[in-house]
A and B are shown apart, each in its own frame.
Chain A
Amino acid sequence: DIQMTQSPSTLSASVGDRVTITCRASQSISNWVAWYQQKPGKAPKLLIYKASSLQSGVPSRFSGSGSGTEFTLTISSLQPDDFATYYCQQYNVLYTFGQGTKLEI
């Protein structure tokens, strides 16, 4: 199984900050990575697919990069609505999610 190691597990930041979340795959997965945002009691929401493609309707302050084994999600200027938990997912071989990053104020 492909493991996705996500860091940090918790991130404290303020409105307006630039933040980066990292995911490392246990083997090369090309660019088959997605990023999701989840708020308490809600289903995950797709933000980024194929490592760097922005899902329709998602604000441009979200961006993704990486290929192979190292991937990042960047939020350029945090807004109050962005405080949530973020998950990476690989879908190169079956499907695996990272452990999540809780972004808190």
Chain B
Amino acid sequence: QVQLVQSGPEMRKPGASVKVSCKASGYTFTSGTIHWVRQAPGQSLEWLGWINTYNNNIKYSQKIQDRITIIRDTSASTAYMELNSLRSEDTAVYYCAREDILTGHAFDYWGQGTLVTVSS
């Protein structure tokens, strides 16, 4: 069965960086696109960016594009999201999600989420 398993919670000080991993299993990793979405406490969902795991194309949200990097390691079936120059407003649960052509490019599987807390 398809699974996306994310790394554990992180706590950082303002100005630091954080890197979250998303390990895929149960399907061919290079057949889909992985997205990153975050959810601040009590808020809605915010799309951050995607990576095409086949050709390594990437696209970032304009709001965060100067601070985010998304990469993938096909040998490990893992995608990574790194966020730099952290601020308190980056405190959120970060999710990875798979986009699948069979569901019309909606996000059919999600990781369990990684809580990133930014506090001095």
Q: Do A and B come from one complex?
A: yes
A-side residues, CB < 8 A to B, are 32, 34, 36, 43-46, 49-50, 53, 55, 87, 89, 91, 94-100
B97-120, CB under 8 A of A: which get 1 and which 0? 100000111111011110000000
B-side residues, CB < 8 A to A, are 35, 37, 44-47, 59, 61, 95, 97, 103-108, 110-113
Known A-B contacts A43-B95, A43-B112, A95-B35; the reply to A34 vs B107 at CB < 8 A is yes
> Closest CB-CB distance, A52 to chain B, in whole Å?
10
Interface of B, secondary structure class, is strand
What chain B residues lie within 8 Å of A95 (beta carbons)? 35, 37, 47
When chains A and B are docked, how far (Å) is the Cα of A32 from the Cα of B103? 11
When chains A and B are docked, how far (Å) is the Cα of A38 from the Cα of B103? 18
When chains A and B are docked, how far (Å) is the Cα of A55 from the Cα of B2? 15
What chain A residues lie within 8 Å of B111 (beta carbons)? 43
B95 touches A50 (CB 8 A): no
When chains A and B are docked, how far (Å) is the Cα of A44 from the Cα of B112? 9
- Nearest 4 A-B pairs (CB), nearest first? A43-B110, A49-B106, A50-B104, A95-B47
